[in-house]
Structure 1
Amino acid sequence: MALTLAIGNQKGGVGKTALVTGLTDALRNRGKTVLVVDADPQANASTRLDVTEPEVTLNDVLYQVNAPEDEGAAAGAIVPAGEGWDNVFVVPSERKLAAREKDDSVNRDMRLKMALAGVADKFDFVIIDCPPSLGSLTANALIAADEVLIVTEPRSDAVEGVGEFVTTMANVRAYFNNSLAMAGIVINRFRPNRTDPQLWLVYLRENYQDLVIEPQGLIPDREVVAQAAAAHVPVSSFGSRALDVWRPLKHIGDVMIERAAERAALTGGVVSRG
């Protein structure tokens, strides 16, 4: 039984896709199979997972899905990630996906859920990379998801985006997906020796309590993350150079594995904690 996890923040530039690929790396290193659904028209996750010039993208899938008989359409877009990304598969994105935001057809926000029906459970985890906006693509992701992981940086506009994303999530849960849960909040590019990050950490603790995955899950600001992204390889492949980034990513991965097991126990599914 897969855990479908949407990762996002309304604000851009917070390291959302870096968390998507870093968490994917952590999960695959634990022997989990991961399907990454790139729902961001910028297609950064697709690129970082070394998927280039795909024949079929999420845009094609969402355009196709319009009726119950179209359930499972995402299967036709799944491709393996590039070299070094064992156990990872991708539904890639493209710039044209942005046109789906203007789609005014009936059930437009239910299409991703329909497309993943019968497909998601072939994997241990499905990770949806949300765009940095609160439009139809994000709604599709939240309706299709079991849980939401919000990523932020310790700065004012990014933390403001957390509150806006939480509000959007609550609305989706109230009207479209009543089992949607919050998996946690990840603080990215954390600099412990500076005053502002510490103040924002205190603010997030006070407002979101144990939803903040810390201190083990605080991801530091390191150049190796950008280097891994540019090379389209897992950050774990950098070995000791990436150790202080890899440790929190592994911790976040373990937290998600535990949440998947707990959800499976509640719903009668079976998920290994190993």
Structure 2
Amino acid sequence: MQVVSISSLKGGVGKTSVTLGLASAALAAGISTLVVDLDPHADATTGLGVRAHEEEDIGRMLKRARRADLNANVVPSGWVRQRDSNDGPPLVLDVAMGSAYTGIYDRPDLGKRDLRRLSTLLSKVDKYDLVLIDCPPSLNGLTRMAWTASNRVLLVAEPGLFSVAGTERTLRAIDVFSNEFAPALEPAGIVANRVRSASNEHSYRLTEMQAMFGDLLLSPTVGEQANWQQIQGAAHAVHNWPGESAKYAAGLFDQLLDGLVASGQVRDRVRR
């Protein structure tokens, strides 16, 4: 099971949009996926069309991590439509729901015991090939809790001065954090998001990012989508949205997912 934190130090760069795009690609590919919405704003939960009944949100499960049953409290995404029995096994895209309650852990002073709370929850599940953790835009306790539970960190950045500088700081933070708390943790790469091809500033910053980050800057970049807010507002998967623009965006996330799952290792397990 690969566990990937999706992180950014700067808000507003489309971190949750990238999480949702990758979740849509995983669903389309038949990869069993769990999205953990660790951002107190819970935007990923909303965008995934979750309809909860009596399930606990991730914040309340974290509070009693040793006793909580993550399997019993995940909620299927509203994107999922069960396949006909002749088309193979059911698609799996589950959500550990976000809530403002997680904010009690978004502090800079969490000890090692608290940092292991999400790891403890995830240790009890084994039905997923991929776990995507949508982190808040900070380096406080929730992000560090996510990194402790993760194999890799995927960074999201806009091609702008402040976002690029924040990404550089985040890479340094991952290095320091892995040395102290999570020796197996490594960056999965950097997604350049909301790229405007006609912008000279964006072109300049992309060139700068290539020089600064080398192979960590992933290809393809994700352009600014005029209909992205409409897609998210309808709580739809981009792969199921009509139109050439959505089809093109879906293809970008398919390519990013291929790289994220380590040269198709997860896909190969699914096929077998």
- TM-score under structure 1 normalisation? 0.88
Q: Which consecutive residues of structure 2, in runs of 5 or more, have no partner in the other structure?
A: 82-90
Matches within 5 A, 1:216-227: 217-227=220-230
- The 1:249–1:167 alpha-carbon spacing in structure 2 relative to 1, beyond 3 Å, is same
Per the alignment, residue 247 of structure 1 pairs with: 251
1:122 aligned counterpart, secondary structure: coil
Q: C-alpha distance in 2, partners of 1:173/1:12?
A: 23
Q: How many residues align?
A: 260
Aligned residue number for residue 147 of structure 1: 152
Q: Alignment identity in percent?
A: 28
Instruction: State the 1:162 CA deviation.
Output: 0.7
Deviations 1:225-257 (A, max 9, x none): 111110001011123231231221111011123
Q: What aligned pairs does 1:133-144 form with structure 2 within 5 A after superposition?
A: 133-144=138-149
1:127 aligns with 2:132: yes
- CA 1:207/1:219 → structure 2, altered by over 3 Å: closer, same or farther? same
Q: Is the 8 A contact 1:220 1:244 kept in 2?
A: no
Q: SS where residue 210 of structure 1 aligns?
A: helix
SS at match of 1:13: coil
Shift of the 273–143 alpha-carbon distance from structure 1 to 2, 3 Å rule, reads farther
What stretches of structure 1 of length at least 5 have no aligned partner? 265-269
User: Do the aligned residues in 2 keep the contact of 1:73 with 1:116 (CA within 8 Å)?
Assistant: no
Q: CA deviation at 1:259?
A: 4.6
Change beyond 3 A, Cα 1:179–1:105: closer
Closer/same/farther in 2, CA of residues 154 and 72 from structure 1, 3 Å limit? same
* Structure showing the higher helix proportion among its residues: 1
Distance 2:95 2:216 in 1: 28
1:257 is matched with which residue: 258, 261, 264?
261
Instruction: Give 1:250's aligned amino acid.
Output: D
1:52-91 equivalence runs, <5 A: 52=51, 55-65=55-65, 70=66, 73-84=69-80, 86-91=91-96
Distance 2:61 2:30 in 1: 28
Deviation readout 1:114-136 (Å, 9 max, x if unpaired): 111031x3101000000001100
Q: Which amino acid aligns with 1:228?
A: I
Q: Give 1:82's aligned amino acid.
A: G
Give the equivalent residue in structure 2 for 1:116.
Answer: 122
The structure 1 segments of at least 4 consecutive aligned residues displaced by more than 4 Å after TM superposition are 102-106
TM-score (norm: length of structure 2):
0.89
Q: Deviations over 1:1-58 (max 9, x none)?
A: x111100101000000000010011111111011000000000000000124563011
Deviations 1:102-125 (A, max 9, x none): 485661111111111031x31010
Q: Which amino acid aligns with 2:62?
A: L
Q: For residues 204 and 218 of structure 1, what CA distance do their matches in structure 2 show?
A: 12
Structure 2 distance, partners of 1:71, 1:261, is 32
Specify the code of the residue in structure 2 equivalent to 1:63: K
In structure 2, the partner of 1:267 is: none
| Contact 2:194–2:224 (CA under 8 A) maintained in structure 1 | yes
Q: Give the match's secondary structure for 1:258.
A: coil
Query: Any conservation in 2 of the 1:4–1:127 contact (CA below 8 Å)?
Result: yes
CA distance in 2: counterparts of 1:11 and 1:273, whole angstroms? 37
Aligned-residue RMSD, C-alpha: 2.2
Say if 1:19 and 1:273 are closer, same or farther in 2 by CA, change over 3 A.
farther
- Distance, in Å, in 2 between the alignment partners of 1:15 and 1:222 is 11
Instruction: Tell me which residue corresponds to 1:165.
Output: 170
The within-5 A match list for 1:32-43 is 32-43=31-42
**2:261 partner SS:** helix
Q: Whole-Å Cα distance in 2 between the matches of residues 13 and 107 of structure 1?
A: 31
